[in-house]
Structure 1
Amino acid sequence: MGTTWGTIGGVFGVSLGVTVLVVVMFSLGVAAWPRAGGGTSRHGARRGRLDTVAAAAAVVCFAACLAIAAYGIELIIPG
């Protein structure tokens, strides 16, 4: 029984790529959240279009991170 280095390299590459993707998505969500006012209106002012877009972008980024984490847990835990 030998070690298949190509397969180990492939697993390493996919793991590294997914890790970088999750970190970038989470960072974009964290960066967009304050621009959106943290989900609340600022001093009672109307929310602008950019605030709404920033809030939507933050929610999408966080949802993508959650979906990737849930999929990874699904792969690890036998069903």
Structure 2
Amino acid sequence: MDIDWAALGQVFGVSLVATVALVGVFTLGIVGGSARTADGGTGTLARVGSYAAYAVCAGAVALGIYTIAA
């Protein structure tokens, strides 16, 4: 049994980058959802950005599940 170390390293690298990127997008969603303006109201643009970040995360999870199931 031979192990293709180059392919294994490539999978590791892509997985690491994708994980860090997804966690970063989710963090932006959390920060955007908790944003407050100077007068104490919620920032509409920040809230929309937060929902968009959550949609990207949900899409990535759905793609992962689809890839595993296919």
Point out 4+ residue stretches in structure 1 off by more than 6 angstroms: none
Question: What amino acid does structure 1 have at the position aligned with 2:4?
Answer: T
| Rg larger for | 1
**Which of 58, 68, 73 in structure 1 is aligned with 2:50?**
58
Taking only aligned residues, the RMSD between alpha carbons, in angstroms, comes to 1.7
Q: What is the aligned length? A: 67
Structure-to-structure mapping, 1:1-79, within 5 angstroms: 1-35=1-35, 42=41, 51-78=43-70
More relative contact order, 1 or 2 (CA 8 Å, 6+ apart): 1
Q: TM-score under structure 2 normalisation?
A: 0.86
Q: For structure 2, which runs of at least 5 residues remain unmatched after alignment?
A: none
Deviation at 1:15, TM superposition (A): 0.5
Q: TM-score under structure 1 normalisation?
A: 0.77
Q: Percent identity, aligned pairs only?
A: 34
